[in-house]
């Protein structure tokens, strides 16, 4: 968390939730415009996965803290995270341009009912960017690391995976995929440590696939 302000923002959602009504009182009081929000939204909560048909998809990939909030919340938190990322030179874009992109994108998504991007049939620029990223040394090291027995031991009788978790993971992968389950012992994330985690691995169409699930304590819908 001490690395930079962006990482601190990622790791402190519940502190953000406390301060949000105080610092953005007018925006936080839009009770007539409540939606099912992502809540812990930031610039690194987007990524790719494969859907049940094996298609490459881009969208939000972390809904751990989803709850009902005014629609303004996700926009402000995402914009804040991007401002901080730009300050740390992770993005080369002005704050005004960030806000314009977010508002234009949000308005467009509302008009077309939103949804993740299916990259196999559209969004060529994003698809090419992701394909290039998959060929980097970092990407290849990521998949190799997931097979490290010290940090990701195979599920066994001594290290079982709950049945409902296995079903959840397998259902999120392409139909007929051959799945290997591993426990996650290596620390992941910044603000949600100490939870039991599993990862499901398979390979298909020349792309390794993974899905993960945190076993969360029940939490009220309103956070």
pLDDT in tens, 128-152: 888 888 888 888 888 889 889 999 9
Q: What is the pLDDT of residue 223?
A: 30
| Number of domains composing the chain | 2
Q: Let me know if residue 223 belongs to a domain.
A: no
One domain for residues 116 and 28 = yes
Cα–Cα nearest to 214, from 100, 194, 206, 222: 194
81 lies in which domain range?
1-51+59-123
Query: For residue 219, is pLDDT > 50?
Result: no
One domain for residues 101 and 38 = yes
One domain for residues 209 and 154 = yes
One domain for residues 100 and 19 = yes
Q: List the structure tokens of 144.
A: 């190799």
| SS3 of residue 221 by DSSP | coil
One domain for residues 66 and 102 = yes
One domain for residues 101 and 203 = no
Q: What is the mean pLDDT of the chain?
A: 83
One domain for residues 83 and 171 = no
Q: What's the 3-state SS for 57-70?
A: EEEECCCCCCEEEE
One domain for residues 88 and 5 = yes
Q: Let me know if residue 14 belongs to a domain.
A: yes
Residue 69 sits at the vertex; the CA angle it makes with 85 and 84, to the nearest 5 degrees, is 10
One domain for residues 42 and 149 = no
User: What's the pLDDT tens digit per position in 183-216?
Assistant: 988 765 555 556 788 888 887 653 333 433 333 3
Q: Residue 20 and residue 16: Cα distance in Å, rounded?
A: 6
What is the chain's alpha carbon radius of gyration, rounded to the nearest angstrom? 19
What is the percent of the chain where pLDDT is above 90?
Answer: 35
One domain for residues 86 and 117 = yes
Cα–Cα nearest to 40, from 170, 214, 169: 214
Q: Let me know if residue 128 belongs to a domain.
A: no
One domain for residues 103 and 32 = yes
Q: Let me know if residue 209 belongs to a domain.
A: yes
Q: Residue 183 and residue 212: Cα distance in Å, rounded?
A: 10
One domain for residues 118 and 147 = no
Local structure of residue 106 (DSSP, 8 states): H
Q: List the structure tokens of 195.
A: 């939870």
Mean pLDDT value of segment 93-109: 94
In contact, 28 and 21? CB cutoff 8 Å: yes
Q: Let me know if residue 73 belongs to a domain.
A: yes
Of 70, 88, 123, which residue constitutes the final position of a domain?
123
Please give the backbone phi and psi of residue 208, each rounded to the nearest 5 degrees, phi first: -75, 145
């Amino acid at each position: 968390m001490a690395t930079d302000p962006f990482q601190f923002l990622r790791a402190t959602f519940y502190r953000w939730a406390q301060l949000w009504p105080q610092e953005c009182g007018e925006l936080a009081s839009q009770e007539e415009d409540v939606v099912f929000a992502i809540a812990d939204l930031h610039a690194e909560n987007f990524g790719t996965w494969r859907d049940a048909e094996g298609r490459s998809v881009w969208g939000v990939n972390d809904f751990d803290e989803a709850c009902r909030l005014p629609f303004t919340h996700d926009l402000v938190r995402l914009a804040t995270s991007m401002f901080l990322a730009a300050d740390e030179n992770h993005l080369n874009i002005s704050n005004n341009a960030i806000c314009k992109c977010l508002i234009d994108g949000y308005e467009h998504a509302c008009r077309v009912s939103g949804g993740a991007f299916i990259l196999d049939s559209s969004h060529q620029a994003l698809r090419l960017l992701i394909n290039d990223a998959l060929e980097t040394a970092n990407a290849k090291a990521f998949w190799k690391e997931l097979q490290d027995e010290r940090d990701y031991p195979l599920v066994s009788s001594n290290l079982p995976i709950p049945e409902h978790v296995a079903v959840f993971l397998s259902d999120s992968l392409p139909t007929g995929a051959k799945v290997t389950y591993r426990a996650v012992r290596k620390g992941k994330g910044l603000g949600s440590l100490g939870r039991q985690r599993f990862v499901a691995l398979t390979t298909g169409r020349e792309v390794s696939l993974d899905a993960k699930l945190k076993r969360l304590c029940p939490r009220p819908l309103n956070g």
